[in-house]
Amino acid sequence: MSIDVTPFYDEATGTITYVVADPSTRHCAVIDPVLDYDASSGRTSTTGVDTVAQFIVDQGYTVDWILETHIHADHMTGACHLQSKFGGQRGIGAEIVAVQRTFAEIFNLDADFSADGSQFDRLLEDEVELSVGELTLKVLHTPGHTPACVCYQVGDVVFTGDTVFMPDFGTARCDFPGGDARTLFHSIRRILALPPETRVFVGHDYGTNERSPAWKTTIASERASSIHVRDDVSEEAFVAMREARDAELGYPKLILPSIQVNIRGGKFPNPEPNGVSYLKIPLNAL
């Protein structure tokens, strides 16, 4: 089975968007597209996601799916912009409804918001299989960072979102509403049970003092050298480390605007009578 994977790195958020394609049929899926957002002006733009779109045009791809690994707290999704250009279905893990209910309460959202996942075209249950041309993409529910996190496996490749990062970076935080370090440990062990040669494409990386940003590793490398979840790290040790580390972290700078847009599937709140959409800033709520 041949699989073409093309990464697009968003420097502002450390996010990697992936175009996953079947070279024989020229069909593809896009995973975790980013919409640019300037917090100081409240303005969005499509510069980054348009680079992805141009690549799709240049390659002559047909977009079957636009997929999210979870509700992102560090960037707004560019899924709606891509769908307006190429069609395709927008998908996310089925447990998104739990995340929507939590944040609908935090943001005190009114009747224009339904916490039922209807903002997406497809809610993806664990182990459901999606077709991308002649490729089969399998959904793996991997909660812990959020209740709705999923990974996507196709052939010898897995896209882990925020479930596991590069070996020298470790794992995602678990202190957002609904997150849980023990749950994340078990989700990661599920992923690390894949064949050791499986290629792992992570959802974020920021580089280190020793290297530039990177996004590709293997299951074997994770099991041998991940600073958080290599094979000799016990469940209790991981939970203690993750909880202590999370207690020292500040919230992502774009969490409040990002979540309000992302739980809506990438759409902005309904415009008010003056034609402008507004986001809420809850005080002392997180």
The widest CA-to-CA distance across the chain, in whole angstroms, is: 59
Mean pLDDT within 179-205: 98
Q: For residues 56 and 185, what is the distance between their CA atoms, to the nearest angstrom?
A: 36
Q: How far apart are CA 179 and CA 26, in angstroms?
A: 37
Domain spans in the chain, listed from the N-terminal domain onward = 4-259
pLDDT at residue number 129: 98
Quick check: pTM over 0.85? Answer: yes
Mean pLDDT of 184-207: 97
Spatial CA neighbour of 68 closest among 15, 134, 104 = 15
Indicate if the pLDDT at residue 210 is higher than 80.
yes
Q: Give residue-wise pLDDT tens across range 7-64.
A: 999 999 999 999 999 999 999 999 999 999 999 999 999 999 999 999 999 999 999 9
In the predicted model, what is the mean pLDDT of residues 217-243?
98
Tokens found for residue 158:
């897995």
Whether 285 has a pLDDT exceeding 90, the answer reads no
pLDDT per residue over 232-271, tens digit each?
A: 999 999 999 999 999 999 999 999 999 999 999 999 999 9
Overall fold of domain 4-259: Metallo-beta-lactamase; Chain A (3.60.15)
Question: Which pLDDT score is estimated for 236?
Answer: 98
Q: At 272, is the pLDDT very low, low, confident or very high (cuts 50, 70, 90)?
A: very high
Encoded tokens for 144:
């812990």
The SS3 of residue 171 is coil
